[in-house]
Chains A and B, each alone.
Chain A
Amino acid sequence: MKNQPIKIVFGLIIFLFGSALAYFTANYVSASHVFDYWGTIAIFTGAYILAGIVVSSIFSVSLGFLFAADVLLLNLMMQYYGQWATNLKFLVIGFIIVVLYLAAGMRLKDKEPAPPVG
């Protein structure tokens, strides 16, 4: 890929600024009593996922937004996961395990080693 290091740098910049924007905005609206902190984080998560899909043709920008969404989503999970009902956790984790098994079964089979040359 051409200009690989520059693309990585720009993707990293988008990730850092995107995460910073989300947290600074959440702090500001929460301190001003305009909106809830975690609600703001949730809105930014959805917005970044959407942005990542919309600009999916530009890898570095898309991945910057999606990795920022990852960080926000995991932060939301850490905040609220303990409050979920056990049955809900059971279903969500079970679903993720099934998806992982399907991915491993369909796309990650053992590869035949390449035949020796000559």
Chain B
Amino acid sequence: MEFLALVFLWPLLVLTVGVVIVSGFDAGGVGLAMIAVLIFCVFLVGLRDHLGNPKGATPEEEADGVRRSIVAFSIGLLVPIWMSYLLAAMQDGIAGIIVGLLIGFGVLTWGMLLRGNKVITGANILGGGLAIVYLYMQLWQLGQLAQVIGAAFGLLMAVIISVIKFREKLA
């Protein structure tokens, strides 16, 4: 079983990257697909040795770095794309945006508070951040009341995250 997993690993990782680019193209056109490719290059070249793994000195360590980059990139880009589908499934209404903001801030908070797994931390900060930016862009089109709700919700979440994260520093 372990042997089969090893054989399938790299084709599955390549397929995952392809799925991210295809779904990015579907959700946001050529522009988003190009941005996805650019972010992938940043992860692969710049962040490969900073995802909880030692700097690649052997081929195995290099391969581990590439695997971590692919997984972090895929989660980070798929979360906002999935959020766009969630919003469409809920007919682009304020309810969908509130649910999306809860999930987006939840993912972001999880990433900021998690210890011991830089892959998930990096992926969540990227994915949660992009999802929140996307949702606020959608919120802007729903009118002034929606903008007020969005701003109040964002303020509340920022205060809660700050209290949780910096509480020990105040003490």
A contact residues vs B (CB 8 Å cutoff):
52-53, 56, 59, 62-63, 66-67, 69-70, 73-74, 77-78, 81-82, 86-87, 89-90, 93-94, 96-97, 100-101, 103-105, 108-111, 113-114
Question: Are B74 and A100 in contact, with the CB atoms below 8 A?
Answer: yes
Pull 25 A–B residue pairs with CB atoms less than 8 Å apart, ordered by A: A52-B11, A53-B7, A56-B7, A59-B7, A67-B14, A69-B11, A70-B14, A70-B15, A73-B18, A78-B22, A81-B22, A81-B23, A90-B85, A93-B23, A97-B75, A100-B74, A100-B75, A100-B78, A101-B75, A101-B120, A104-B120, A104-B123, A108-B117, A110-B52, A113-B54
Taking A56-B4, A86-B89, A101-B75 as known contacts, 11 extra A-B pairs with beta carbons closer than 8 A to each other, sorted by chain A number, are A69-B11, A82-B26, A87-B89, A90-B88, A94-B82, A104-B117, A108-B51, A108-B120, A109-B117, A110-B53, A110-B117
Q: Does B16 contact A (CB under 8 A)?
A: yes
Closest to B67 in A: A108
Q: Which residues of B15-42 are within 8 A (CB) of A?
A: 15-16, 18-19, 22-23, 25-26
How far apart are the CA atoms of A70 and B39 in the complex, in Å?
21
User: Beta-carbon contacts of B83-122 to A below 8 Å, as 1s and 0s?
Assistant: 0011011000000000000000000000000001111100
- The secondary structure that dominates the A interface is helix
Contacts of B26 in A (CB 8 A): 81-82, 89
